[in-house]
Structure 1
Amino acid sequence: MGFFDSRCIWKAADNPARSTSMPAATPLYRKLSSTLAGLIRAGTFPPGSRFPSIRRTSREHGVSITTAMEAYRCLEDEGYLQARARSGYYVSPPVISPDRFPTTGTRPSSPLKVTHGTLFETVIDHASGQGAVSFATAAPGKGIVPETRLASISREIIRRHGLEALSYTPPQGRWELRAALSRRLYNLGLTVAPDEIITTQGATEGLMLALRATAEPGDLIAVEAPSYFGTLNLIRDLGLRVIEIPVDPRSGLVVEALEVALKKHRIAACVVQPHFQNPIGSLMPESRKKALSALAEQHGFAIIEDDVYGDLAHDGTRPSSIALHSDRVIHCGSASKTIAPGLRVGWLLPGKWHAEVRRLKGIQCPWNGTLSEFVIARFLDAGGYDRHLRRIRRLYAEQCAQTREAVLSHFPEDARVNQPAGGFVLWLEMPAGFDARSYTAAALRKGIGISPGPIFSATAGLNHCFRLACGFAFGTRTLEAIATLGKLARHHRS
């Protein structure tokens, strides 16, 4: 019996005398696609999982390669399969009907100060406790971080460089890392020399440097709504104000809403995650990037591009930087979501703000982690980074798809959930009246960590929403935790 364990199904469909579901004139490839679609619907191959190769299907079912290829094309056209470059075919995630997709705001907020309490600290303090299933931290988990390879590189670097690998690195960062990043960024269409790059201790430091270089206390910063809570905390601590711009769950920042805001207010900078935005998972198309760039040129504000998820497109297609469309962009990146969060390696391309960012870096944090920068430089150049990316993109896609499917199965019918094309975060929107704060506390008592919506809002709103991070392997404990969350969701209405 082959991998489908269902040749009897295929042979019945292939024999007109035994099949009642297909007319005798049905082409062979259509019969095959119908059989495979049935297995996908039955759950033999769950959403996000890798599908058997065309060659294997040809062999298992005794058909030609051409017939198998035509069957796979039908499955693609019908939405059952997705082809990924250099990786093969994967089962598509379930299509979410419009009434189960998060809603989109259309208007900007008024200028305001960021007001956050201790809710986020409480979530983090408890979510990583022993025995907890944590959906709260958007970071790679076990099975994602290439620990064996990184350990090998670390030993090699210490042997080769000795004390130098454990000494201070100047503020701009190791030349080896900046050169490796220059080569990677060239593949994105960004032609930058190593001396145009400044390395940081994670993307958060890069965001702080970018904000300090482009704004003064009291200035107005445009942010996405919902927005990454780390950005909001930085803005609060720097004494800046924000104006929230809605984010479309599919296409990112609503540029038309930003344009409306600019008619009334002057902003110093716009912080945006164009690729697989945290927490809503959106992907900004090129047309919106161009429109945002045009507004920056017209109104003279800086675009701070937080691109930490850009390498994590589930289909392997790396989206391009907004910096291709404007010189008013500070591009920030990090190895935290793709390689290892604990190494704390990030970078930014300050562009026209290079001198000011370098000055601030020398004051704020004059020394970088030398060993970490050596390790990331080596991994990017000769450690199989592209192979690693192909592997974790597949894992993230599978984990997002399986988590989403479990949510749709266990949560009330009025729950809405996004369908990201990259990254590993899911955004759930419950009906008005849902209390995410009390829900988070109840989940923690069950040993489950989540991130409540208020920490993603400058006003601590969005109390009917929460985020689930899927950066760890999906398994029995995960499914049980989602089932528990689904039951709890039915009892937390304000």
Structure 2
Amino acid sequence: MASPLPASDAPLYKRVEQRILGMIQTGSIPPGRKIPSLRETASAMGVSLTTVVQAYESLERIGVLESRPRSGFVVRQPAAALPPAGAPTMDAPVARTVRRGEIVRRVLETLGRDEVLPLGVAQVDPALLPARTLSRLLAEVSRREPDRVAHYAPVAGSMELRRQVARRLALAGVLAAPEELLTTCGATEGMSIALRALTHPGDAVLIASPTYHFFLQMLELMGLRAVEVPSHPHTGISPADVAEALDRFDIAACVLTPTWNNPDGSCMPPAAKAELVQLLSSRNIPLVEDDVYGDLVFPSSQPGNAPRPPACKAFDDHGVVTLVSSFSKTLTPGYRVGYLLPGKAVATKALEFKGMSTLSGAAPTELAVAEYLERGLYDRHLVRVTRELEQQTEAMRLAVSRHFPEGTRATTPRGGCILWVELPPGGPTGVDVFLRAAAEGIGISPGLLFSNSGGFERFLRLSTGLRFTPQVEQAVARLGAIARGM
């Protein structure tokens, strides 16, 4: 049996959980075998019975263990492995007018209903976010500087936050002075500022396929056309495909999520990111890089103290990349704290456009987030939240493999909080599943949302940000039944 646990910053029950999980993964405890009793594990690892109960129940929630009456906990038989989701097969790219607004609005309306379980929303469970700590810091900065938080902040945002963001960006390989940065009302405002600075109605914008549905909605509202290039669910878009599109179309800008693309979870390799930036620089075509998921790197894909994947902006020697990000996915969506590091074509207009849209930054929330970062709390939070997200993602994959029809495929994400699921041909489509599930109080995002040219009718996006509770397992089981036509 295992020896006492080594020191770690992780909660004690999580360390027990990881030890047991390691024994299962190495085959020390095979499927179907009863694991050591609560008392045996508590004694061997030098922890309390309560701690072991927490660990075992957590492993049961994510589908690794199964509790049997009078038998204790046994290792669950693994379901058939899910093959990887397929890369899109696309015809030659076409510059199309975007028409996805109505279906996007309908899905968002469904997901926003109180009675609907939001399995299609790409966000982290509130239980994993430090709401109480941030609330305390917000109160502290308000007491310390009451006049400052009650008045307009600088248009560019608080310098304290911009300093902390500049330090964070260095971990993504990006060297930026605080004075170059602009805070925004989430990444949404940053994306809007960048596109307004770079495009005019009728222009063509290069995007990935699949891509975040909000990008399509924004292009539609701004009267822009979309040129789609395929995204591989592991390595993202290919610079060669981008070069082909640039040869055929007059592209005004590119809008991409190179690190943990939404919805396929792909991450471009560093060499491909460098090649892409070099290609765009040689043609003076700007890239708007969405990096909102960049910090959500699963521990298993980040051995030791390896840094997070580099941003495309890290390879930008000519100012063609505008980086847009926020703390909405990692820390607090409600505070609406984002930031923009403009490329040269955006820099001259960014401050003016921000002043026209929101006039200034939100001093109270910006200062609270800056304080959180300055105290080193953000790094510790990321360790915890990425560990949980990796386990929840694996739990969701296991549940899909147990409950969905034979022939279902799914991605194997290495970061983010999304699972991209491909249903087998001949059965219900993603929209079919969405409509039936919504009527039963389960919200998902059908693949149709994520492309302007079709091709993802058999896909679903599932959130792995929610805690994997029995309610979530039951919802996935029901989705599987719907996908089987039941």
TM-score normalized by structure 1? 0.80
SS in 2 for 1:221: strand
Of 466, 478, 487 in structure 1, the residue corresponding to residue 481 of structure 2 is 487
Does residue 226 (structure 1) correspond to residue 184 (structure 2)? The answer is no
Displacement after TM superposition at 1:40 (Å):
5.8
Number of the residue aligned with 2:70? none
SS in 2 for 1:231: helix
The CA RMSD measured in Å over matched residues stands at 2.8
Number of the residue aligned with 1:277? 261
1:72-91 matches, cutoff 5 A: none
Does residue 439 (structure 1) correspond to residue 433 (structure 2)? The answer is yes
Number of the residue aligned with 1:29? none
The question of whether the paired residues in 2 share the 8 Å contact of 1:101 and 1:417 is answered with yes
What residue identity is the alignment partner of 2:212? Y
The question of whether the paired residues in 2 share the 8 Å contact of 1:112 and 1:243 is answered with yes
Number of the residue aligned with 2:314? 324
1:108–1:178 Cα change, 3 Å: farther
Of 456, 461, 485 in structure 2, the residue corresponding to residue 467 of structure 1 is 461
Structure 2 unaligned spans of 5+: 5-21, 36-40, 47-63, 65-74
Distance in 1 separating the partners of 2:34 and 2:376 = 35
1:238–1:385 Cα change, 3 Å: same
Distance in 2 separating the partners of 1:319 and 1:95 = 31
1:324–1:57 Cα change, 3 Å: farther
What residue identity is the alignment partner of 1:135? L
The number of residues matched between the two structures is 425
Of 260, 264, 277 in structure 1, the residue corresponding to residue 248 of structure 2 is 264
Distance in 2 separating the partners of 1:474 and 1:358 = 42
The question of whether the paired residues in 1 share the 8 Å contact of 2:23 and 2:29 is answered with no
Does residue 345 (structure 1) correspond to residue 337 (structure 2)? The answer is yes
Which protein is bigger by CA-based radius of gyration?
A: 1
Number of the residue aligned with 1:401? 394
Does residue 429 (structure 1) correspond to residue 402 (structure 2)? The answer is no
Number of the residue aligned with 1:67? none
1:130–1:237 Cα change, 3 Å: closer
1:65-113, Cα deviation, whole Å (9 max, x unpaired): xxxxxxxxxxxxxxx9xxxxxxxxxx9xx89968443333365521101
1:78-477 matches, cutoff 5 A: 99-105=83-89, 108-315=92-299, 316=302, 317-326=307-316, 327-352=319-344, 353-382=346-375, 384-433=377-426, 434-459=428-453, 462-477=456-471
Distance in 1 separating the partners of 2:248 and 2:177 = 39
Distance in 1 separating the partners of 2:91 and 2:276 = 16
SS in 2 for 1:426: strand
SS in 1 for 2:414: coil
Distance in 1 separating the partners of 2:460 and 2:147 = 46
1:34–1:133 Cα change, 3 Å: closer
Displacement after TM superposition at 1:118 (Å):
2.6
Distance in 2 separating the partners of 1:185 and 1:35 = 35
Distance in 1 separating the partners of 2:334 and 2:33 = 37
Distance in 1 separating the partners of 2:129 and 2:240 = 39
1:3-42 matches, cutoff 5 A: 36-39=26-29, 41-42=31-32
Displacement after TM superposition at 1:347 (Å):
0.5
Distance in 2 separating the partners of 1:274 and 1:149 = 31
Of 472-481 and 104-113, the range deviating more from structure 2: 104-113
What residue identity is the alignment partner of 1:469? S
1:271–1:153 Cα change, 3 Å: same
Displacement after TM superposition at 1:454 (Å):
1.4
Structure 1 unaligned spans of 5+: 5-31, 46-55, 62-79, 81-90
What residue identity is the alignment partner of 2:243? E
SS in 2 for 1:118: helix
1:179–1:99 Cα change, 3 Å: closer
The question of whether the paired residues in 1 share the 8 Å contact of 2:24 and 2:30 is answered with no
1:3–1:365 Cα change, 3 Å: same
The question of whether the paired residues in 1 share the 8 Å contact of 2:85 and 2:420 is answered with no
SS in 2 for 1:468: strand
Displacement after TM superposition at 1:127 (Å):
2.5
Distance in 2 separating the partners of 1:268 and 1:113 = 15
1:226-261, Cα deviation, whole Å (9 max, x unpaired): 000111111111111110010000001122211211
Distance in 2 separating the partners of 1:210 and 1:180 = 22
Displacement after TM superposition at 1:117 (Å):
4.3
Number of the residue aligned with 2:55? none
The question of whether the paired residues in 1 share the 8 Å contact of 2:101 and 2:220 is answered with no
Distance in 2 separating the partners of 1:196 and 1:302 = 17
SS in 2 for 1:268: strand
1:315-367, Cα deviation, whole Å (9 max, x unpaired): 24411111121231101110000001011011011031312212222223222
Distance in 1 separating the partners of 2:125 and 2:432 = 27
Displacement after TM superposition at 1:264 (Å):
1.2
Distance in 2 separating the partners of 1:42 and 1:362 = 62
SS in 2 for 1:323: helix
What fraction of aligned residue pairs are identical, expressed as a percent?
A: 34
Distance in 1 separating the partners of 2:444 and 2:313 = 34
Distance in 2 separating the partners of 1:236 and 1:185 = 31
